[in-house]
Amino acid sequence: METLYQWFAASAEKHADAPALEVGARTLTYTELRDLAGHLAAEAVAAAGTVPARIGVLAERSVLTYAGYLAAQRLGSTVVPLNPAFPAERNRMIAEAAGLDLVLTEDTGGAPADLGVPELAMAEPADGAVRTPPDSPAGDLAYILFTSGSTGRPKGVPIRHRNVCSYLGHVVPRYGMAPGSRVSQTFDLTFDLSVFDMFTAWSGGATLVVPSREDLLAPVRFVAEKRLTHWFAVPSMVSYAQRLRSLRPGSMPTLRWSLFCGEPLTTHQAEAWQRAAPEGVVENLYGPTELTISCAEFRLPADPADWPVTANGTVPIGRPHPSVGHVVLDERGRPAVEGELCARGPQRFPGYLDPAANEGRFYHFGPGDETARPHGPDDELDDDAWYRTGDRVSWKDGALVHLGRSDQQVKVQGYRVELGEIEAVLRDQEAVRDAIVLALPGHGGATELEAVCTGSGLDPDRLLVAAATRLPGYMVPRRLSVLDALPLNVNGKIDRSALTAQAIGQRG
């Protein structure tokens, strides 16, 4: 079985002295990064007393973070990224759901993370003596990521080595990674797009260039100063750069590729970025975590006069990768020109960590069936099942255009957010009778969350503070209002449209 680590190891063999990782003022060659990863792998085995089946990585944007990720992959363990910025309760919940055997942390001198799992504070060899890990077979799963879940608990998405290796087989040659290429790493490890950054760079002998938090506040300057050749980010980063007035024509001359994913990319954003990076290509990527990082792409022509015009002003998501089977189904489950995008193939994940979450998330076609049947609790989940993305699309001039969602899922800063998870957390608070969370347009097309609660004696500030102890920062509503009752429509259901209009009216 081909593994994720083997892609890195092949480059380390071929490009031993080339720079593999740059964090701040420090640069590691492929040999140095491989040796440090091997040392940490040996330390992990010693700490656990055996090769851990599943290893959490609770660290961010340091040399040890990336070496620790590679260490777990070298052992054949399944990696589960954890974010130090997330509430401790959320990380504990993920550690328990993932069944972690060990968590790699950074030795910051503070208290242990207290996740209910043995911890290893990563450190570089003090005496320069690098330990060698034992040989161990790789498990089926490369990593598990946790996304927002409508039930109020994060939902585990396991990705197999064959899923991600199939993906790399398509994207590595597409983007021309090679020694001398300098690749951005803007995504946290809990975001699946970070896997693209790491392993497309390391599969081609390129350098992964990691920005600091301060660098992310000045993205154009970071690109120019670090002479990046490949940039990958969420589209809202373009709007942020525009608000800073830093996206000047020709300000990023070294960029050859600019890739965007995680949110709809507007034509306006693409035009502004291309003017700032005139020597490069702009490409829009699409894909849910369940289909392994990205599964469709649309490359914009060099001349904006040749760009397609869509009704909603967004760049098409293009066509799925050649290996990705795809079908568009209407509300009745019949093939259509416009409807929900469903997909299968080697990039499709094997099903959620909790099998109960699979119900209704897949379609099945029997022999001779013209209409798809939703996946039920007693159905076997085989490779023929079609994953329902929940994304509405339409075909236009041979490319797919994203039209929005068919459910209450939204994207905030590129992260997938189930409004139901936030509502469940708010309903858990004392004296709250009901809660509704709204996704509203913010600055530069970004999505902002606002909440409405009903109940007696509620303090909006207290409720938001309580939510922040259980939810990542990007999921905490910016504002919370208290009403005596929620408005209902003619069918007796909560009228989200009326609440949205009211919230927008209060803004201005």
Same domain as 394, residue 325: yes
Whether residue 454 is found in the same domain as residue 388: no
% of the chain residues with pLDDT over 70: 97
Domain-embedded: residue 396: yes
The reply to whether 503 and 413 lie within a common domain is: yes
CATH number of the domain where residue 385 is located: 2.30.38.10
In the chain, the number of structural domains is 2
Nearest-angstrom CA–CA distance, 202 and 199: 5
Environment class of 29 (CB within 10 Å of its CB; exposed 0-12, middle 13-18, buried 19+): middle
**CA dist., res. 330 & res. 333, Å (int):** 5
Shared-domain flag, residues 346 and 391: yes
| 413 and 401 fall within a common domain | no
CATH number at residue 458: 3.30.300.30
429 and 491, same domain (yes or no): yes
Per-residue H/E/C for 321-333 = CCCCEEEEECCCC
Q: Which residues of the chain have pLDDT under 50?
A: none
Is 158 among the domain residues? no
Q: What is the per-residue pLDDT for 491?
A: 58
Q: Within a domain: residue 433?
A: yes
Of 405, 424, 458, the one marking the end of a domain is 405
Same domain? For 396 and 446 the reply is no
- Of 384, 405, 426, which residue constitutes the final position of a domain? 405
500 shares a domain with 415: yes
Q: Are residues 421 and 495 in the same domain?
A: yes
Say if 496 falls within a structural domain.
yes
Residue 485, in any domain of the structure? yes
> 471 is in which domain, residue-wise?
409-507
* DSSP H or E segment with residue 389: strand 386-396
439 lies in the same domain as 482: yes
Of 371, 405, 439, which one is at a domain's C-terminal end?
A: 405
477 and 433 within one domain: yes
In a domain, 330, yes or no: yes
pLDDT in the model for residue 507:
64
Using a 10 angstrom Cβ sphere, with 0-12 exposed, 13-18 middle and 19 or more buried, the burial of residue 181 is: buried
Please state, in angstroms and as integers, the Cα–Cα distance from residue 162 to each residue in 77, 115, 158, following that order: 15, 30, 12
In a domain, 451, yes or no: yes
For residue 464, being part of any structural domain is answered with yes
385 shares a domain with 413: no
Cβ count within 10 A of residue 150? 17
